[in-house]
A and B are shown apart, each in its own frame.
Chain A
Amino acid sequence: MRVAENLNAALAALLAREPNLYVLGEDVVDPYGGAFKITRGLSTDFPDRVLSTPISENAITGVAAGLALAGDLAIVEIMFGDFAALAFDQLFNFASKSVSMYGSRLPMRMVVRCPVGGGRGYGPTHSQSPQKHFVGIPGLALYELSPFHDNLAVFEEMFAREEPCVFFEDKVLYTRRMGAVEPPFSVEISGGVARVSLDGPPDCVIIAPGGVAHRALAAMRSLLVEEEIACTLLVPSRLYPFDPPDLFDAAVRAARRVFVVEESTAGGTWGAEVAHLVHRRHWGRLDLPVTLIHSPGGVIPTAAHLERAALVNESTIHSTIRGTLRG
């Protein structure tokens, strides 16, 4: 099953199960079914709860917050995650704050879905990875789509938090298959983190969210074949708050060398937050400081050759790890 189908099926299952769930977004109703077709079919089955909205990211997110306030559940689709900037106030000052600023906990069951990332030629304002701009807001949890995490379970977890969540979906994942890794790698999932590993002790650990996991996997394969460097990949479903399970710490302890890969540009990133956490927990055991691997600083061009050069990719990951471990 492709990731987009898994996501669509998750939304359909949730709508069927939760009579008070709304799905809101620009152009989400049939026959269009959303810019990336993730909501295809949903409005046909649930016409009064799957609603196409005006081009109004702030209001859509505020409407979702109002529904949550009244006890409903709401999922918002931001057509391109870049536009979540227009909804920032509703997330930063209202929805996340409302969970606690009224003195007792106020449940806010809402998810803002943000298709993000480059690789599709959409250009500078439609290709960014804005995760870092949402990291560290009290009461706002961040998740990222991954081929290893079933979306229905992820949405159940997000709603169970009873606080607003942003779900980042790297657009390049939509057409990829769920869950697949090829031998000699194998995958196991524990505590919301997927671990892709080889038999035997690894030389390093790579921490990468779902959108860049396949690029990390490709680098892992070439590092193994060309350099005999064995890597373990950890793919967390929840980016923030980042509270990794024992499996994560065990993997870090086993490897003592840690790389974090993210598609965003450097500077105040999610990866920096992860590095801080790893340093705090494992500083005395690490061989090296945690290395962050980002896209180069700059806008994301539209032309395919320029866009490729602007985004973190298999070869960036390969060469950084090789250079760091082998000098």
Chain B
Amino acid sequence: MTRPSTALKGETSDPAVSAPQDADLSLMLMIRAFELKLLDLYGRGLLNGTTHTCLGQEYVPVAVEALLDPRDHVFSNHRGHGHYLARFRDPAGLLAEIMGREGAVCAGVGGSQHIHRDRFLSTGVQGESLPVAAGVALHLKRSEPGRLACVYVGDGTFGEGAVYEAFNIASLWGLPLLVVVENNGIAQSTPTTRHLAGSIAGRAAAFGIDHRLVETSDVTEIRRTLEPLVSRVRSRATPLVVEFVTRRLGPHSKGDDTRPVRALEEMREQDWYARCAAACPGRFPRLDAEARAHIDAVAAEVMARGPSQWEGS
């Protein structure tokens, strides 16, 4: 079974790499710029608490979101900024939430890990959203056929029993549940090889749930592969596990990365950012500069806002 550790050694390749469309590339670059800005703000002591950036994984929600309908529900996790930004393209609302400023999506109560807006919800406890997403999928199956619940989880979450209780129910009851696994090869500081026995594919198979491994970071290719599978989740009301072999370039939270420098360098070489920069040398620098300038402006504007107001519950 393919594991991310093999990917990290550069054994997988992106054959037939296609250059992303401007809109996709800009969104990926915006998420990257947002996350880098967060680490910068933290470094300067301007943010409260902690956060988990998705540096290196930006392409996953950008690829997936295009396969979703606004009426689908999306469940995100502690590393969820990319999921939110891919859905709503609202860096100001999210940054205000993280910084506790006016215009915060959730009045500054939820912070980085607890966001709810329309049919998007994130929460900070590993695995607990799987059963909730199954419940929403049950609702959708009966009340809004054709819609699905999409839940993002990491490889580390596969240590939680809630995952398997939800898998069992989703498979038994035929629920339209799309489980997107961002297997970045590491759970906080513990490599997947030290926390996951067997494989994610094997675990899906144990419940009779289809599994698809995605090793490329080419969003066009990803969508081409997944589109018919996601359509089947809708039309047959059946769960699907899509496992992305991806890379977490940044620390788990703020500055807690214990991985060797060389391993990080290897990952950066395989990063979608380097790949896209090489694939489209003409427009990449321009779009990247635009994304950074946009986030700089958003950050300056949000930081000038007053504190968020919360009426309590």
A residues apposed to B, CB below 8 Å: 20, 22, 48, 51, 53-54, 56, 58-72, 74, 89-90, 93-94, 97-106, 139
Q: Which residues of chain A are near B312, meaning CB under 8 Å?
A: 100
Q: A67 with B131: in contact, given A100-B312, A101-B106 (CB under 8 Å)?
A: no
- B102-139: CB near A (< 8 Å → 1, else 0) gives 00111111100011100001010100111111111111
B125: nearest chain-A partner, CB-CB: A93
Are B135 and A58 within 8 A (Cβ)? no
Are A101 and B110 within 8 A (Cβ)? yes
Q: Which residues of chain A are near B106, meaning CB under 8 Å?
A: 101-104
Q: A63 with B131: in contact, given A100-B313, A102-B109, A102-B114 (CB under 8 Å)?
A: yes
Q: Which residues of chain B are near A67, meaning CB under 8 Å?
A: 135-136, 138-139
- Compute how far the CA of A155 lies from the CA of B292 in the bound complex, rounded to whole angstroms: 53
Q: Which residues of chain B are near A54, meaning CB under 8 Å?
A: 165, 168-169, 172
Are A89 and B132 within 8 A (Cβ)? no
- Compute how far the CA of A70 lies from the CA of B135 in the bound complex, rounded to whole angstroms: 8
B162: nearest chain-A partner, CB-CB: A58
Are A62 and B128 within 8 A (Cβ)? yes
CB of A92, distance to nearest CB on chain B (Å): 9
Q: Which residues of chain A are near B104, meaning CB under 8 Å?
A: 103
Q: A72 with B139: in contact, given A94-B132, A100-B312, A101-B106 (CB under 8 Å)?
A: yes
A-B contacts besides A59-B162, A59-B169, 15 pairs, CB < 8 Å: A56-B169, A59-B165, A59-B166, A62-B132, A65-B132, A67-B139, A69-B132, A69-B136, A70-B73, A70-B136, A70-B139, A71-B139, A90-B131, A94-B123, A103-B116
B161: nearest chain-A partner, CB-CB: A58
Are A106 and B116 within 8 A (Cβ)? yes
CB of B73, distance to nearest CB on chain A (Å): 7
Q: Which residues of chain A are near B107, meaning CB under 8 Å?
A: 103-104
Q: Which residues of chain A are near B137, meaning CB under 8 Å?
A: 66
Chain B CB within 10 Å — which of A53, A58, A61, A66 has the most?
A66
Are A66 and B115 within 8 A (Cβ)? no
- Does B142 make an interface contact (CB < 8 A)? yes
Chain A CB within 10 Å — which of B129, B132, B310 has the most?
B132
Chain A CB within 10 Å — which of B73, B105, B128 has the most?
B128
Chain B CB within 10 Å — which of A48, A56, A74, A101 has the most?
A101
- B134-177: CB near A (< 8 Å → 1, else 0) gives 11111110110000010000000000011001101100110000
- Compute how far the CA of A72 lies from the CA of B121 in the bound complex, rounded to whole angstroms: 17
> Please, could you name 8 A-B residue pairs with CB atoms under 8 Å apart, sorted by A?
A54-B168, A59-B165, A62-B128, A63-B138, A63-B169, A66-B136, A101-B109, A102-B121
Are A94 and B166 within 8 A (Cβ)? no
CB of A112, distance to nearest CB on chain B (Å): 13
Instruction: Name the one of A72, A90, A106 contacting B128, with C-beta atoms under 8 angstroms.
Output: A90
Are A102 and B131 within 8 A (Cβ)? no
CB of B265, distance to nearest CB on chain A (Å): 38
Query: Number of contacting residues on B, CB 8 A?
Result: 41
Closest 8 CB pairs of A and B: A66-B135, A62-B131, A103-B107, A59-B165, A100-B313, A103-B106, A102-B116, A63-B135
Interface of chain B residues 290 through 313 with chain A (CB within 8 A): 310, 312-313
- Compute how far the CA of A126 lies from the CA of B258 in the bound complex, rounded to whole angstroms: 46
Instruction: Name the one of B114, B143, B166 contacting A62, with C-beta atoms under 8 angstroms.
Output: B166
B119: nearest chain-A partner, CB-CB: A70
Q: Which residues of chain B are near A60, meaning CB under 8 Å?
A: 131
B73: nearest chain-A partner, CB-CB: A70
- Compute how far the CA of A62 lies from the CA of B121 in the bound complex, rounded to whole angstroms: 14
CB of B200, distance to nearest CB on chain A (Å): 19
Are A48 and B142 within 8 A (Cβ)? yes
CB of A58, distance to nearest CB on chain B (Å): 5
- Compute how far the CA of A199 lies from the CA of B235 in the bound complex, rounded to whole angstroms: 68
- Compute how far the CA of A229 lies from the CA of B190 in the bound complex, rounded to whole angstroms: 66
Q: Which residues of chain B are near A104, meaning CB under 8 Å?
A: 106-107
CB of B29, distance to nearest CB on chain A (Å): 28
- Compute how far the CA of A101 lies from the CA of B110 in the bound complex, rounded to whole angstroms: 5
Q: Which residues of chain A are near B169, meaning CB under 8 Å?
A: 53-54, 56, 59, 63
CB of A226, distance to nearest CB on chain B (Å): 50
- Compute how far the CA of A106 lies from the CA of B137 in the bound complex, rounded to whole angstroms: 19
- Compute how far the CA of A72 lies from the CA of B138 in the bound complex, rounded to whole angstroms: 10
A106: nearest chain-B partner, CB-CB: B116
Chain A CB within 10 Å — which of B129, B133, B134, B165 has the most?
B165
Q: Which residues of chain A are near B165, meaning CB under 8 Å?
A: 54, 56, 58-59, 62
Q: Which residues of chain B are near A93, meaning CB under 8 Å?
A: 123, 125, 128
Chain A CB within 10 Å — which of B131, B136, B137, B149 has the most?
B131
Are B114 and A58 within 8 A (Cβ)? no
- Compute how far the CA of A83 lies from the CA of B274 in the bound complex, rounded to whole angstroms: 51
Q: Which residues of chain B are near A89, meaning CB under 8 Å?
A: 125, 128, 162
Q: Which residues of chain A are near B105, meaning CB under 8 Å?
A: 103
Q: Which residues of chain B are near A68, meaning CB under 8 Å?
A: 135
Q: A70 with B313: in contact, given A94-B125, A94-B132 (CB under 8 Å)?
A: no
A62: nearest chain-B partner, CB-CB: B131
- Compute how far the CA of A100 lies from the CA of B130 in the bound complex, rounded to whole angstroms: 20
Q: Which residues of chain B are near A99, meaning CB under 8 Å?
A: 313
Q: Which residues of chain A are near B140, meaning CB under 8 Å?
A: 70
Q: Which residues of chain B are near A48, meaning CB under 8 Å?
A: 142
- Compute how far the CA of A64 lies from the CA of B92 in the bound complex, rounded to whole angstroms: 33
B139: nearest chain-A partner, CB-CB: A70
A89: nearest chain-B partner, CB-CB: B128
Are B168 and A66 within 8 A (Cβ)? no
Q: Which residues of chain A are near B110, meaning CB under 8 Å?
A: 101-103
Are B139 and A58 within 8 A (Cβ)? no
- Compute how far the CA of A260 lies from the CA of B116 in the bound complex, rounded to whole angstroms: 41
- Compute how far the CA of A70 lies from the CA of B149 in the bound complex, rounded to whole angstroms: 11
Q: Which residues of chain B are near A139, meaning CB under 8 Å?
A: 313
